[in-house]
Structure formats: structure tokens, C-alpha cells
């Protein structure tokens, strides 16, 4: 099997390994048309404001309206991100991503009165409505979660503002993604014979599993050096993200941003603390593993670029179809229906965009 030293351009990836984006929208024009319709339909949210507690039929209609709107928004988001994720230099795709993120914030703001109004209905009345209108019973878990979060819900006007700021508050994450996925360049890795290998976001994982230690070392060091060159900008993005988390935690009256994050899924902070403590308690097992690994690899000292080194000198290449077979076999306990849908989606319906980095195969240890 021939091996190249360059990353395969996205435009040269065979059609069968690309996103099937036309299954979402046939063209960018169709996407644009739907975005305009969603924005127009969003105005209908005002028809429900102040009325959700009137009748169970009104509440049911609200759920139908919001779910339809959010599903359509999700399709707009998926389509925009499919093109952008495979080519962050595509300015048209970047514009669609920016537009749908703004639309998402607008939707969040316009629908923000819903949760406070539902809470104001009260659990007893909602329980009675679920009995009289069985179609509402599927929202039982939603109601339970909503009332769990009740102490941290703000008034409708504040919820609207929080929805609107969600878009500009994504800036630090967006800047980080643009910097690391688009603007960062890395020096190539070099193997023991002097052959060079292009280092990129899609190839670094493969390079770090190579049997040739020189490839692993130079790949890791050159990749890390790329980040170190922009470390101050990255640190600023991180600091901004921390401040944003702290802001939302304070606004919603949480003791910490950790509590605010975990509480969305009703997870106590004690669970997180227990996870960390359990890890610390089992560190000796990890240390034993690394000592054995160092011995098997014949190394005087283990470095971070040795963590994924194969335990044999033979590189193992797994083609895409075989990798899918391995994954679906591992998921077999979930049932034939699940695995058949997954396999068909990945191999026939274009659910993934597979980049053939370096070898045209998935590299594994």
C-alpha cells in the first residue's frame, strides 16, 4: 500500500466519503430560503405570550410550534456546519454559520418566555392537564426538569436578554476554533529515514500512533510549537470563556460555574468530586501501566508522544469500511436495528466526511 506525505485536500476526497449535504438542503439557495422562512415563522411566538396557562390545548400547540421551529433550525445549523467543518476557509460557509448562530440566539430569545410561563402554571395544574389531555404526558420529564431548575430561572425579560447575548458570548470559542482550525500551521514530522509527513488537525492523531518514534516526537513537538506560538491569544480566549461561565452562573444564582453546568442534567457536584477522587485513588494502577509500557517499548523515559505508541514495530492500517464494521460490531448489544441504521447511514447515506489523511486508511495501534 502506497503512503503519501501530504494531507489529501478535501476536494479530492471521493464522493462516497463526503457529507451527503444535499439530503439536508439541495443547495445554499434552498438553505437561505428556509432561513428566511424560519425567521418569519418566529414572529408567531408572540401569539402564545401570556397564554400558555390558558388551556392544555394551548400549551400542546406551543410545544408543537416550538418543536417544529427548533427541528428546522437544527437542519439549518447542520447544513451550515457540514461545509464549514470540512473547509474553514470557505467564506460562504463561514457566513452561513455566523448567520445561523445569530438566528439561533434570536430563536432562543423569542421563545424565552415559555419556561417561566409554564412554571407559573404550577405542578398541580399541569398534572391535571396531563390527565385530561394525555398528549401532554410525553412532557412529564420536561416538566420535572423545568421545576428542578425553577430557582435559577429568571423573569421573561431577563431570559430574553440571556438568549440574545448567547451569540456574542460565543466569540471566544469561535475565535479559538478559527485560530486553531484555520490559521495555525505546523512544521512537518520527520521519520528516521528523513521522509517528511504533513502535520495537521486531521493527521496528528495518526502520526502519534506510528511505530517510528522520530515521527511521533517531531509530530508532537511541531504540533505543540504551533500552539505555543499563539499561546497568549489562546489564553485570552480561555480567560474570556471562564468569565462567561462565571457570568451565567451568577445571573442564575449558582454557587459556581461547575454547579451551573452539572445542574442542567441534575447532577450534584459531589458526583464530579467523587470522579476526581476515584481517579486519584487509582493513580498507582496507571503508574504501574506506564512502567510496564515503558519496559515493553524499551524506553529509558516515557514522553507524551509515547502514550499511543504501538507495542509492536509493525504499523497497522485499517481501511474505512473495516473500521465501521469494528464499531458496529462493538455496538451490537444495542440491537440489529440500531447497528443496521448506523452502518447504512455511514457507508451509504453520507453521515460522515472521512478525510483520508496520509495513507488513505485509518491508522491504528
Whole-number pLDDT of residue 340: 94
Q: Which of 44, 175, 174 is nearest to 111 (CA)?
A: 44
Cβ contact 24:72 at 8 Å: no
Residue 213 pLDDT > 50: yes
Give domain status of residue 35, yes or no. Answer: yes
Retrieve residue 109's grid coordinates. Answer: 430569545
Give domain status of residue 259, yes or no. Answer: no
Whole-number pLDDT of residue 362: 38
Residue 342 pLDDT > 70: yes
Residues 164-187, mean pLDDT to the nearest whole number: 86
> E strand or H helix at 240, and its extent?
helix 231-251
In whole angstroms, give the CA distance from residue 234 to residue 227: 8
Whole-number pLDDT of residue 5: 61
Residues 136-153, mean pLDDT to the nearest whole number: 93
Residue 13 pLDDT > 80: no
Residues 100-126, mean pLDDT to the nearest whole number: 94
pLDDT tens digits, one per residue of 30-64: 999 999 999 999 999 999 999 999 999 999 999 99
Residue 287 pLDDT > 90: yes
Q: In the structure, what pLDDT confidence band is assigned to residue 134 with cuts at 50, 70 and 90? A: very high
Whole-number pLDDT of residue 358: 38
Residue 363 pLDDT > 50: no
Q: In the structure, what pLDDT confidence band is assigned to residue 1 with cuts at 50, 70 and 90? A: very low
Give domain status of residue 321, yes or no. Answer: no
Whole-number pLDDT of residue 127: 95
The helix/strand/coil state of 190 is strand
Q: In the structure, what pLDDT confidence band is assigned to residue 10 with cuts at 50, 70 and 90? A: low
Whole-number pLDDT of residue 18: 79
Give domain status of residue 36, yes or no. Answer: yes
Give domain status of residue 44, yes or no. Answer: yes
Give domain status of residue 79, yes or no. Answer: yes
What are the phi and psi torsion angles at 331 (to 5°)?
A: -95, 10
Residues 242-261, mean pLDDT to the nearest whole number: 94
Number of domains in the chain: 1
* Number of neighbouring beta carbons within 10 Å of residue 136: 20
Average pLDDT, the chain: 89
Q: In the structure, what pLDDT confidence band is assigned to residue 4 with cuts at 50, 70 and 90? A: very low
pLDDT tens digits, one per residue of 254-286: 999 999 999 999 999 999 999 999 999 999 999
Domain that holds residue 31: 21-166
Whole-number pLDDT of residue 359: 38
Residue 297 pLDDT > 80: yes
Give the bridge partners for 269, in sequence order.
Answer: none
Residues 304-312, mean pLDDT to the nearest whole number: 91
What are the phi and psi torsion angles at 80 (to 5°)?
A: -60, -40
Q: Which of 358, 15, 17 is nearest to 201 (CA)?
A: 358
Q: In the structure, what pLDDT confidence band is assigned to residue 166 with cuts at 50, 70 and 90? A: confident
Give domain status of residue 83, yes or no. Answer: yes
| Percentage of residues of the chain with pLDDT beyond 90 | 68
Residues 140-155, mean pLDDT to the nearest whole number: 92
Residue 314 pLDDT > 80: no
Residues 176-203, mean pLDDT to the nearest whole number: 89
What CATH number did the domain enclosing 27 receive? 1.20.140.70
Give domain status of residue 71, yes or no. Answer: yes
The total number of residues shown for the chain amounts to: 365
Amino acid at each position: 500500500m502506497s503512503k503519501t506525505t501530504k494531507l489529501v485536500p478535501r476536494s479530492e476526497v471521493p464522493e462516497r466519503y463526503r457529507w451527503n449535504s444535499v439530503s439536508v438542503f439541495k443547495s445554499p439557495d434552498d438553505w437561505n430560503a428556509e432561513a428566511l422562512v424560519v425567521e418569519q415563522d418566529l414572529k408567531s411566538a408572540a401569539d402564545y405570550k401570556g397564554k400558555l396557562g390558558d388551556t392544555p390545548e394551548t400549551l400542546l400547540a406551543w410545544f408543537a410550534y416550538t418543536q417544529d421551529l427548533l427541528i428546522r433550525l437544527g437542519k439549518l445549523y447542520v447544513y451550515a456546519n457540514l461545509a464549514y467543518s470540512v473547509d474553514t476557509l470557505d467564506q460562504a460557509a463561514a457566513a452561513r454559520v455566523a448567520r445561523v448562530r445569530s438566528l439561533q440566539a434570536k430563536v432562543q430569545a423569542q421563545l424565552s418566555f415559555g419556561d417561566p410561563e409554564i412554571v407559573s402554571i404550577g405542578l398541580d395544574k399541569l398534572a391535571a392537564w396531563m390527565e385530561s389531555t394525555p398528549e401532554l404526558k410525553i412532557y412529564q420529564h420536561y416538566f420535572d426538569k423545568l421545576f428542578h431548575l425553577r430557582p435559577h430561572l429568571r423573569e421573561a425579560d431577563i431570559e430574553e436578554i440571556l438568549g440574545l447575548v448567547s451569540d456574542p458570548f460565543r466569540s471566544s470559542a469561535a475565535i479559538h476554533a478559527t485560530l486553531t482550525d484555520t490559521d495555525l500551521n505546523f512544521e512537518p514530522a520527520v521519520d528516521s529515514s528523513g521522509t517528511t509527513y504533513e502535520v495537521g488537525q486531521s493527521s496528528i492523531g495518526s502520526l502519534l500512533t506510528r511505530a517510528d518514534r522520530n515521527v511521533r516526537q517531531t509530530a508532537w513537538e511541531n504540533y505543540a510549537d504551533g500552539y505555543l506560538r499563539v499561546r497568549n491569544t489562546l489564553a485570552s480566549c480561555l480567560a474570556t470563556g471562564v468569565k462567561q461561565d462565571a457570568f451565567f452562573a451568577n445571573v442564575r444564582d449558582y454557587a459556581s460555574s461547575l454547579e451551573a453546568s452539572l445542574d442542567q442534567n441534575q447532577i450534584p457536584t459531589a458526583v464530579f468530586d467523587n470522579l476526581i477522587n476515584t481517579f486519584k485513588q487509582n493513580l498507582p494502577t496507571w503508574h504501574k501501566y506506564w512502567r510496564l509500557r515503558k519496559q515493553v517499548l524499551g524506553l529509558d523515559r516515557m514522553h507524551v508522544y509515547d502514550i499511543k505508541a504501538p507495542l509492536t514495530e509493525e504499523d497497522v492500517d485499517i481501511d474505512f469500511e473495516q473500521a465501521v464494521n469494528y464499531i458496529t460490531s462493538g455496538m451490537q448489544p444495542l440491537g440489529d436495528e440500531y447497528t443496521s441504521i448506523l452502518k447504512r447511514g455511514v457507508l451509504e447515506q453520507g453521515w460522515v466526511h472521512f478525510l483520508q489523511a496520509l495513507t488513505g486508511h485509518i491508522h491504528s495501534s
